[in-house]
Amino acid sequence: MVPLNSSMVSVEHDRARDRVRHARLFNGVVNFSVYGSADSFYYGIYFTKVKLGTPPKEFNLQIDTGSELTWVSSKSCPSCPRSSRFGIELSHYDVAASSTSKVIPCSDKSCTAITLGDATRCSIDGQYCGYVMKYLDESATSGFYVADTFHFESVSSNSTTLNASAGILFGVSTYRSGMLAETETAVDGIFGFGKQKLSVLSQLYYKGITPRVFSHCLKGGGTGGGVFVLGEVLAPGMVYTPLVPWQPHYSVHLENIVINGKLLPVDPKTFTPSADYATVLDTGTTFSYFVSEAYDLFVGAVSNNPFPILRTLVLLLYFSYVHWTFICRLFPLVSLNFAGGASLSLKPEEYLFLSNVSKDGTTWCIGFQKAQGQTILGDLVLKDKIFVYDLVRQRIGWVKYDCSSSVNISVPNDDFFYLKQSSSGSSSRGLLVQLLTVAIVTLFFSV
Protein backbone atom coordinates (compact mmCIF):
# COMPACT_ATOMS: atom_id res chain seq x y z
CA MET A 1 0.00 0.00 0.00
CA VAL A 2 1.26 3.50 -0.89
CA PRO A 3 0.23 6.35 1.45
CA LEU A 4 -2.16 8.80 -0.20
CA ASN A 5 0.05 11.82 0.45
CA SER A 6 2.99 9.98 -1.12
CA SER A 7 0.96 9.24 -4.22
CA MET A 8 -0.09 12.88 -4.52
CA VAL A 9 3.52 14.03 -4.27
CA SER A 10 4.47 11.60 -7.04
CA VAL A 11 1.68 12.87 -9.29
CA GLU A 12 2.66 16.49 -8.72
CA HIS A 13 6.29 15.63 -9.36
CA ASP A 14 5.37 13.98 -12.67
CA ARG A 15 3.17 16.88 -13.70
CA ALA A 16 5.92 19.35 -12.80
CA ARG A 17 8.40 17.37 -14.90
CA ASP A 18 5.93 17.36 -17.79
CA ARG A 19 5.42 21.12 -17.47
CA VAL A 20 9.15 21.62 -17.85
CA ARG A 21 9.18 19.31 -20.87
CA HIS A 22 6.25 21.13 -22.45
CA ALA A 23 7.90 24.47 -21.83
CA ARG A 24 10.92 23.12 -23.69
CA LEU A 25 8.92 21.68 -26.59
CA PHE A 26 6.06 24.13 -26.89
CA ASN A 27 6.98 27.49 -28.37
CA GLY A 28 3.47 28.93 -28.46
CA VAL A 29 0.44 28.78 -30.72
CA VAL A 30 0.80 28.19 -34.45
CA ASN A 31 -0.87 30.78 -36.64
CA PHE A 32 -1.77 30.39 -40.35
CA SER A 33 -3.11 33.03 -42.69
CA VAL A 34 -6.24 31.96 -44.55
CA TYR A 35 -7.05 32.63 -48.21
CA GLY A 36 -10.19 32.05 -50.24
CA SER A 37 -13.84 32.45 -49.22
CA ALA A 38 -17.15 30.61 -48.85
CA ASP A 39 -18.49 32.54 -51.82
CA SER A 40 -18.48 30.15 -54.78
CA PHE A 41 -18.65 33.17 -57.08
CA TYR A 42 -15.03 33.90 -56.07
CA TYR A 43 -13.45 30.81 -54.47
CA GLY A 44 -15.80 28.40 -52.72
CA ILE A 45 -13.01 27.03 -50.48
CA TYR A 46 -10.59 28.23 -47.79
CA PHE A 47 -6.91 27.35 -47.99
CA THR A 48 -3.60 28.18 -46.35
CA LYS A 49 0.11 28.02 -47.18
CA VAL A 50 2.14 25.15 -45.73
CA LYS A 51 5.89 24.52 -45.98
CA LEU A 52 7.19 20.95 -46.26
CA GLY A 53 10.58 19.33 -46.82
CA THR A 54 14.22 20.42 -46.74
CA PRO A 55 14.76 22.93 -48.18
CA PRO A 56 11.19 24.09 -47.37
CA LYS A 57 8.77 24.19 -50.28
CA GLU A 58 5.44 26.02 -50.07
CA PHE A 59 2.09 24.37 -50.84
CA ASN A 60 -1.44 25.78 -50.95
CA LEU A 61 -3.66 23.34 -49.05
CA GLN A 62 -7.41 23.40 -48.48
CA ILE A 63 -8.31 23.55 -44.77
CA ASP A 64 -10.46 20.51 -44.03
CA THR A 65 -11.85 19.67 -40.60
CA GLY A 66 -13.87 16.85 -42.16
CA SER A 67 -10.91 14.57 -42.97
CA GLU A 68 -7.71 13.63 -41.19
CA LEU A 69 -5.13 12.96 -43.89
CA THR A 70 -2.92 15.79 -45.12
CA TRP A 71 -1.72 15.18 -48.67
CA VAL A 72 0.04 17.03 -51.49
CA SER A 73 0.31 16.39 -55.21
CA SER A 74 3.24 14.34 -56.46
CA LYS A 75 5.57 15.59 -59.15
CA SER A 76 4.74 12.40 -61.08
CA CYS A 77 0.93 12.71 -60.83
CA PRO A 78 -0.56 12.78 -64.37
CA SER A 79 -4.10 13.65 -63.22
CA CYS A 80 -3.11 16.46 -60.84
CA PRO A 81 -4.02 19.97 -62.08
CA ARG A 82 -1.21 22.16 -63.42
CA SER A 83 -3.07 25.45 -63.12
CA SER A 84 -5.81 27.03 -61.01
CA ARG A 85 -8.39 29.74 -61.61
CA PHE A 86 -7.43 31.16 -58.22
CA GLY A 87 -4.32 32.69 -59.79
CA ILE A 88 -1.94 30.74 -57.53
CA GLU A 89 1.11 28.84 -58.70
CA LEU A 90 0.59 25.14 -58.04
CA SER A 91 3.43 23.12 -56.49
CA HIS A 92 4.23 19.41 -56.63
CA TYR A 93 6.09 17.40 -54.01
CA ASP A 94 9.27 15.61 -55.06
CA VAL A 95 10.62 13.02 -52.61
CA ALA A 96 14.09 13.19 -54.13
CA ALA A 97 14.26 16.97 -53.74
CA SER A 98 13.93 16.88 -49.93
CA SER A 99 16.89 15.71 -47.87
CA THR A 100 14.63 14.86 -44.91
CA SER A 101 11.97 12.85 -46.77
CA LYS A 102 11.36 9.18 -45.98
CA VAL A 103 8.97 7.02 -47.99
CA ILE A 104 7.21 4.54 -45.71
CA PRO A 105 7.78 0.97 -46.94
CA CYS A 106 5.16 -1.76 -46.66
CA SER A 107 7.60 -3.89 -44.70
CA ASP A 108 7.65 -1.40 -41.84
CA LYS A 109 5.45 -2.23 -38.85
CA SER A 110 4.16 1.33 -38.79
CA CYS A 111 2.36 0.73 -42.10
CA THR A 112 -0.11 -1.59 -40.40
CA ALA A 113 -0.63 1.02 -37.65
CA ILE A 114 -1.71 3.64 -40.20
CA THR A 115 -5.40 2.97 -40.73
CA LEU A 116 -7.97 5.03 -42.62
CA GLY A 117 -10.76 2.47 -42.60
CA ASP A 118 -9.87 0.09 -45.42
CA ALA A 119 -8.02 2.83 -47.28
CA THR A 120 -4.46 1.90 -46.30
CA ARG A 121 -2.85 -0.63 -48.59
CA CYS A 122 0.51 -1.79 -49.89
CA SER A 123 1.70 -1.24 -53.42
CA ILE A 124 1.63 -4.16 -55.83
CA ASP A 125 5.39 -4.54 -55.65
CA GLY A 126 5.30 -4.11 -51.85
CA GLN A 127 7.73 -1.21 -51.90
CA TYR A 128 5.62 1.50 -50.30
CA CYS A 129 2.71 1.98 -47.94
CA GLY A 130 -0.14 3.45 -49.96
CA TYR A 131 -3.55 5.00 -49.35
CA VAL A 132 -6.84 5.61 -51.13
CA MET A 133 -9.12 8.45 -49.98
CA LYS A 134 -12.69 8.98 -51.21
CA TYR A 135 -14.69 12.07 -50.31
CA LEU A 136 -18.44 12.72 -50.11
CA ASP A 137 -18.47 14.62 -53.41
CA GLU A 138 -17.27 11.44 -55.15
CA SER A 139 -13.77 12.85 -55.72
CA ALA A 140 -10.81 10.70 -54.73
CA THR A 141 -7.06 10.61 -54.35
CA SER A 142 -4.52 7.82 -53.95
CA GLY A 143 -0.79 7.70 -53.37
CA PHE A 144 1.76 6.77 -50.72
CA TYR A 145 2.84 7.88 -47.25
CA VAL A 146 5.91 10.00 -46.57
CA ALA A 147 7.48 11.37 -43.40
CA ASP A 148 9.10 14.79 -43.78
CA THR A 149 9.65 18.10 -42.02
CA PHE A 150 6.72 20.46 -41.49
CA HIS A 151 7.80 24.11 -41.05
CA PHE A 152 5.64 26.65 -39.23
CA GLU A 153 5.71 29.90 -37.29
CA SER A 154 4.68 29.87 -33.62
CA VAL A 155 3.73 32.89 -31.53
CA SER A 156 5.01 32.85 -27.96
CA SER A 157 3.38 34.41 -24.89
CA ASN A 158 5.36 37.62 -25.42
CA SER A 159 4.11 37.85 -29.05
CA THR A 160 7.49 36.86 -30.46
CA THR A 161 7.28 34.94 -33.73
CA LEU A 162 9.55 31.91 -33.86
CA ASN A 163 10.38 29.56 -36.70
CA ALA A 164 9.83 25.94 -35.76
CA SER A 165 9.57 22.54 -37.42
CA ALA A 166 8.52 18.98 -36.72
CA GLY A 167 8.46 15.67 -38.54
CA ILE A 168 4.96 14.69 -39.67
CA LEU A 169 3.38 11.97 -41.77
CA PHE A 170 1.41 12.94 -44.88
CA GLY A 171 0.30 11.54 -48.20
CA VAL A 172 1.78 12.16 -51.63
CA SER A 173 -0.94 11.93 -54.28
CA THR A 174 -0.12 10.13 -57.52
CA TYR A 175 -3.75 10.17 -58.70
CA ARG A 176 -6.69 12.57 -58.37
CA SER A 177 -10.23 12.24 -59.74
CA GLY A 178 -13.51 14.13 -59.68
CA MET A 179 -13.41 17.74 -58.54
CA LEU A 180 -9.91 17.22 -57.15
CA ALA A 181 -8.65 16.81 -60.73
CA GLU A 182 -10.31 19.99 -62.03
CA THR A 183 -8.56 23.34 -62.42
CA GLU A 184 -11.68 25.25 -61.34
CA THR A 185 -10.91 25.01 -57.61
CA ALA A 186 -7.43 23.48 -57.78
CA VAL A 187 -4.97 23.75 -54.89
CA ASP A 188 -1.95 21.59 -54.05
CA GLY A 189 -3.77 19.24 -51.69
CA ILE A 190 -5.65 19.05 -48.40
CA PHE A 191 -4.66 20.09 -44.86
CA GLY A 192 -6.42 17.42 -42.77
CA PHE A 193 -7.62 18.54 -39.33
CA GLY A 194 -10.07 15.80 -38.38
CA LYS A 195 -10.26 14.27 -34.89
CA GLN A 196 -8.32 11.12 -35.63
CA LYS A 197 -4.67 10.21 -35.10
CA LEU A 198 -3.35 11.04 -38.58
CA SER A 199 -4.44 14.68 -38.52
CA VAL A 200 -1.74 17.33 -38.21
CA LEU A 201 -3.31 18.47 -34.93
CA SER A 202 -3.01 14.98 -33.41
CA GLN A 203 0.53 14.42 -34.66
CA LEU A 204 1.81 17.71 -33.25
CA TYR A 205 -0.12 17.22 -30.01
CA TYR A 206 1.35 13.76 -29.36
CA LYS A 207 4.80 15.23 -29.93
CA GLY A 208 4.08 17.79 -27.19
CA ILE A 209 4.36 20.71 -29.64
CA THR A 210 0.83 22.13 -29.77
CA PRO A 211 -2.22 21.93 -27.49
CA ARG A 212 -5.22 19.79 -28.35
CA VAL A 213 -7.33 22.75 -29.41
CA PHE A 214 -7.54 24.79 -32.59
CA SER A 215 -9.60 27.71 -33.87
CA HIS A 216 -10.54 29.41 -37.10
CA CYS A 217 -12.15 32.65 -38.20
CA LEU A 218 -13.15 32.54 -41.87
CA LYS A 219 -13.99 35.87 -43.47
CA GLY A 220 -17.04 35.72 -45.71
CA GLY A 221 -17.20 39.09 -47.44
CA GLY A 222 -15.34 40.14 -50.58
CA THR A 223 -12.41 37.88 -51.39
CA GLY A 224 -12.49 36.34 -47.92
CA GLY A 225 -9.42 35.47 -45.88
CA GLY A 226 -9.16 34.94 -42.13
CA VAL A 227 -7.01 33.10 -39.63
CA PHE A 228 -6.42 29.48 -38.60
CA VAL A 229 -4.78 28.89 -35.21
CA LEU A 230 -3.42 25.81 -33.46
CA GLY A 231 -4.54 27.14 -30.10
CA GLU A 232 -7.58 28.74 -28.48
CA VAL A 233 -8.96 32.05 -29.72
CA LEU A 234 -10.87 33.99 -27.08
CA ALA A 235 -13.72 36.46 -27.62
CA PRO A 236 -16.59 37.82 -25.50
CA GLY A 237 -19.93 36.06 -25.93
CA MET A 238 -18.57 32.61 -26.84
CA VAL A 239 -21.17 29.83 -26.50
CA TYR A 240 -20.34 26.12 -26.33
CA THR A 241 -21.96 22.81 -27.14
CA PRO A 242 -20.57 19.35 -26.27
CA LEU A 243 -18.88 17.20 -28.89
CA VAL A 244 -20.58 13.88 -29.53
CA PRO A 245 -17.82 11.65 -28.08
CA TRP A 246 -18.19 8.48 -30.15
CA GLN A 247 -18.25 10.17 -33.55
CA PRO A 248 -15.06 10.22 -35.70
CA HIS A 249 -15.79 13.78 -36.88
CA TYR A 250 -16.41 17.09 -35.11
CA SER A 251 -20.03 16.21 -34.44
CA VAL A 252 -22.56 18.04 -32.28
CA HIS A 253 -26.22 17.57 -31.34
CA LEU A 254 -28.51 19.92 -33.27
CA GLU A 255 -31.75 19.88 -31.28
CA ASN A 256 -34.08 22.07 -33.34
CA ILE A 257 -34.42 24.86 -35.91
CA VAL A 258 -36.30 28.10 -35.30
CA ILE A 259 -37.33 30.40 -38.19
CA ASN A 260 -38.57 33.90 -37.36
CA GLY A 261 -39.27 32.78 -33.81
CA LYS A 262 -41.28 29.72 -34.83
CA LEU A 263 -40.09 26.19 -34.13
CA LEU A 264 -39.71 24.10 -37.27
CA PRO A 265 -41.86 20.98 -36.70
CA VAL A 266 -39.08 18.44 -37.24
CA ASP A 267 -39.27 15.23 -35.22
CA PRO A 268 -36.50 15.59 -32.56
CA LYS A 269 -35.40 12.03 -33.34
CA THR A 270 -34.30 13.30 -36.77
CA PHE A 271 -31.35 15.11 -35.16
CA THR A 272 -30.64 12.75 -32.25
CA PRO A 273 -27.01 11.53 -32.46
CA SER A 274 -26.49 7.81 -33.01
CA ALA A 275 -23.65 5.51 -33.95
CA ASP A 276 -23.96 6.62 -37.57
CA TYR A 277 -25.40 10.11 -37.32
CA ALA A 278 -24.75 13.55 -35.83
CA THR A 279 -24.41 17.11 -37.11
CA VAL A 280 -20.90 17.58 -38.52
CA LEU A 281 -18.82 20.79 -38.80
CA ASP A 282 -16.78 20.61 -41.99
CA THR A 283 -14.63 23.43 -43.42
CA GLY A 284 -13.98 21.24 -46.46
CA THR A 285 -17.63 21.65 -47.51
CA THR A 286 -18.79 24.89 -49.15
CA PHE A 287 -22.54 24.50 -48.65
CA SER A 288 -24.53 23.09 -45.75
CA TYR A 289 -26.79 20.04 -45.76
CA PHE A 290 -29.99 19.11 -43.96
CA VAL A 291 -31.43 15.62 -43.90
CA SER A 292 -34.51 15.43 -46.14
CA GLU A 293 -37.07 15.64 -43.29
CA ALA A 294 -35.63 18.97 -42.12
CA TYR A 295 -34.71 20.29 -45.57
CA ASP A 296 -38.24 20.17 -47.00
CA LEU A 297 -39.68 21.92 -43.95
CA PHE A 298 -36.85 24.49 -44.00
CA VAL A 299 -37.47 25.45 -47.65
CA GLY A 300 -41.21 25.63 -47.02
CA ALA A 301 -40.75 27.91 -44.00
CA VAL A 302 -38.35 30.23 -45.81
CA SER A 303 -40.86 30.41 -48.68
CA ASN A 304 -43.77 31.22 -46.37
CA ASN A 305 -43.54 35.02 -46.67
CA PRO A 306 -46.52 37.41 -46.50
CA PHE A 307 -45.49 39.11 -49.75
CA PRO A 308 -47.01 37.04 -52.65
CA ILE A 309 -44.46 38.20 -55.25
CA LEU A 310 -41.56 37.47 -52.91
CA ARG A 311 -43.03 34.07 -52.09
CA THR A 312 -43.17 33.19 -55.78
CA LEU A 313 -39.54 34.22 -56.22
CA VAL A 314 -38.44 32.17 -53.22
CA LEU A 315 -40.29 29.10 -54.48
CA LEU A 316 -38.25 29.45 -57.66
CA LEU A 317 -35.15 29.22 -55.48
CA TYR A 318 -36.13 25.66 -54.62
CA PHE A 319 -35.59 24.62 -58.22
CA SER A 320 -33.19 27.07 -59.84
CA TYR A 321 -31.97 30.67 -59.67
CA VAL A 322 -33.73 33.96 -59.07
CA HIS A 323 -32.63 37.58 -59.58
CA TRP A 324 -33.19 40.37 -57.13
CA THR A 325 -31.42 43.30 -55.43
CA PHE A 326 -31.28 43.69 -51.66
CA ILE A 327 -34.03 41.11 -51.36
CA CYS A 328 -32.23 39.10 -48.68
CA ARG A 329 -33.22 41.82 -46.19
CA LEU A 330 -36.75 40.43 -46.41
CA PHE A 331 -35.81 36.84 -45.62
CA PRO A 332 -36.32 35.46 -42.10
CA LEU A 333 -33.72 34.89 -39.40
CA VAL A 334 -32.83 31.26 -38.73
CA SER A 335 -31.63 29.88 -35.40
CA LEU A 336 -29.93 26.50 -35.06
CA ASN A 337 -30.20 25.38 -31.43
CA PHE A 338 -27.76 22.85 -30.00
CA ALA A 339 -27.34 20.76 -26.86
CA GLY A 340 -26.19 22.75 -23.85
CA GLY A 341 -28.29 25.79 -24.75
CA ALA A 342 -25.95 27.08 -27.48
CA SER A 343 -27.63 28.82 -30.41
CA LEU A 344 -26.25 29.74 -33.83
CA SER A 345 -28.26 32.52 -35.49
CA LEU A 346 -28.09 32.86 -39.27
CA LYS A 347 -28.86 35.99 -41.22
CA PRO A 348 -30.14 35.50 -44.80
CA GLU A 349 -26.67 35.99 -46.26
CA GLU A 350 -25.51 33.04 -44.13
CA TYR A 351 -27.93 30.58 -45.69
CA LEU A 352 -28.13 32.16 -49.16
CA PHE A 353 -25.14 32.28 -51.47
CA LEU A 354 -24.16 34.62 -54.30
CA SER A 355 -24.10 32.84 -57.65
CA ASN A 356 -23.86 35.62 -60.22
CA VAL A 357 -23.81 39.41 -60.57
CA SER A 358 -24.90 41.23 -63.74
CA LYS A 359 -26.46 44.51 -64.84
CA ASP A 360 -29.89 42.84 -64.56
CA GLY A 361 -29.48 42.03 -60.87
CA THR A 362 -27.93 39.58 -58.45
CA THR A 363 -28.36 35.82 -58.52
CA TRP A 364 -28.70 34.11 -55.15
CA CYS A 365 -29.53 30.54 -54.20
CA ILE A 366 -30.39 28.64 -51.04
CA GLY A 367 -27.12 27.40 -49.55
CA PHE A 368 -28.65 24.38 -47.82
CA GLN A 369 -28.90 21.22 -49.88
CA LYS A 370 -30.75 17.97 -49.23
CA ALA A 371 -28.62 15.17 -47.77
CA GLN A 372 -29.19 11.52 -47.03
CA GLY A 373 -28.65 10.70 -43.37
CA GLN A 374 -26.21 13.42 -42.32
CA THR A 375 -26.56 17.11 -41.45
CA ILE A 376 -23.38 19.02 -42.34
CA LEU A 377 -22.54 22.64 -41.56
CA GLY A 378 -20.13 23.94 -44.20
CA ASP A 379 -18.32 27.20 -44.87
CA LEU A 380 -21.46 29.18 -45.68
CA VAL A 381 -22.58 28.76 -42.05
CA LEU A 382 -19.10 28.70 -40.45
CA LYS A 383 -17.91 31.98 -41.98
CA ASP A 384 -17.78 35.31 -40.11
CA LYS A 385 -17.50 33.58 -36.75
CA ILE A 386 -14.75 32.39 -34.44
CA PHE A 387 -14.99 28.63 -33.98
CA VAL A 388 -12.98 26.82 -31.28
CA TYR A 389 -12.52 23.03 -31.40
CA ASP A 390 -11.60 22.09 -27.83
CA LEU A 391 -10.71 18.40 -27.63
CA VAL A 392 -9.59 18.65 -24.02
CA ARG A 393 -12.94 19.88 -22.73
CA GLN A 394 -14.75 18.01 -25.54
CA ARG A 395 -16.70 20.99 -26.84
CA ILE A 396 -17.17 23.33 -29.79
CA GLY A 397 -17.50 27.07 -29.21
CA TRP A 398 -18.42 29.99 -31.48
CA VAL A 399 -19.26 33.66 -31.62
CA LYS A 400 -19.94 36.08 -34.47
CA TYR A 401 -16.81 38.06 -35.32
CA ASP A 402 -15.26 40.34 -37.92
CA CYS A 403 -12.60 37.95 -39.22
CA SER A 404 -10.63 40.79 -40.83
CA SER A 405 -9.85 42.01 -37.28
CA SER A 406 -7.07 40.73 -35.06
CA VAL A 407 -7.91 37.90 -32.65
CA ASN A 408 -7.00 37.29 -29.02
CA ILE A 409 -5.12 34.00 -28.69
CA SER A 410 -4.95 32.30 -25.30
CA VAL A 411 -1.61 30.93 -24.12
CA PRO A 412 -2.51 27.32 -23.22
CA ASN A 413 -2.01 26.02 -19.72
CA ASP A 414 -0.78 22.58 -18.77
CA ASP A 415 -4.28 21.06 -18.89
CA PHE A 416 -4.35 21.30 -22.67
CA PHE A 417 -1.61 18.66 -22.79
CA TYR A 418 -3.63 16.03 -20.93
CA LEU A 419 -6.41 13.86 -22.33
CA LYS A 420 -9.70 13.69 -20.48
CA GLN A 421 -10.13 10.27 -18.88
CA SER A 422 -13.31 8.35 -19.59
CA SER A 423 -15.25 6.70 -16.81
CA SER A 424 -15.87 3.76 -19.14
CA GLY A 425 -13.37 0.94 -18.93
CA SER A 426 -13.87 0.00 -22.56
CA SER A 427 -13.39 3.61 -23.65
CA SER A 428 -10.20 3.83 -21.63
CA ARG A 429 -8.87 0.66 -23.21
CA GLY A 430 -9.74 1.99 -26.66
CA LEU A 431 -7.97 5.25 -25.87
CA LEU A 432 -4.92 3.37 -24.62
CA VAL A 433 -4.72 1.36 -27.84
CA GLN A 434 -5.00 4.57 -29.86
CA LEU A 435 -2.31 6.30 -27.80
CA LEU A 436 0.04 3.35 -28.15
CA THR A 437 -0.54 3.23 -31.91
CA VAL A 438 0.06 6.93 -32.30
CA ALA A 439 3.12 6.79 -30.09
CA ILE A 440 4.63 4.12 -32.34
CA VAL A 441 3.83 6.09 -35.46
CA THR A 442 5.07 9.46 -34.18
CA LEU A 443 8.26 8.01 -32.74
CA PHE A 444 9.05 6.35 -36.05
CA PHE A 445 8.33 9.44 -38.05
CA SER A 446 10.30 11.88 -35.92
CA VAL A 447 12.76 13.78 -38.11
Helix H, strand E, coil C: the string for the chain is CCCHHHHHHHHHHHHHHHHHHHHHHCCCEEEEEEEECCCCCCCCCEEEEEEECCCCEEEEEEEECCCCCCEEEECCCCCCCCCCCCCCCCCCECHHHCCCCEECCCCCHHHHHCCCCCCEEECCCCCCEEEEEECCCCCEEEEEEEEEEEEEEEECCCCCEEEEEEEEEEEEEEEEEHHHHCCCCCCCEEEECCCCCCCHHHHHHHCCCCCCEEEEEECCCCCCCEEEEECEEECCCCEEEECCCCCCCCEECEEEEEECCEECCCCHHHCCCCCCCCEEECCCCCCEEEEHHHHHHHHHHHHCCCCHHHHHHHHHHHHCCEEECCHHHHCCCEEEEEHHHCEEEECHHHCEEEEEEECCEEEEEECEEEECCCCEECHHHHCCEEEEEECCCCEEEEEECCCCCCCEEECCCHHHHCCCCCCCHHHHHHHHHHHHHHHHHHHHCCC
Q: What is the pTM of this model?
A: 0.80
64 is catalytic: yes
User: Choosing from 39, 64, 148, 390, which is the catalytic residue?
Assistant: 64
Give the tens place of pLDDT for each residue, 196-228.
888 999 999 988 888 899 999 999 877 889 999
Q: What is the pLDDT of residue 162?
A: 66
User: Choosing from 39, 188, 282, 384, which is the catalytic residue?
Assistant: 282
**Residues of the chain where predicted confidence (pLDDT) is lower than 50:** 1-27, 118, 306-326, 417-447
Q: What is the pLDDT of residue 361?
A: 58
Q: What is the pLDDT of residue 9?
A: 39
Q: What is the pLDDT of residue 128?
A: 86
18 is catalytic: no
Q: What is the pLDDT of residue 156?
A: 57
Q: What is the pLDDT of residue 153?
A: 75
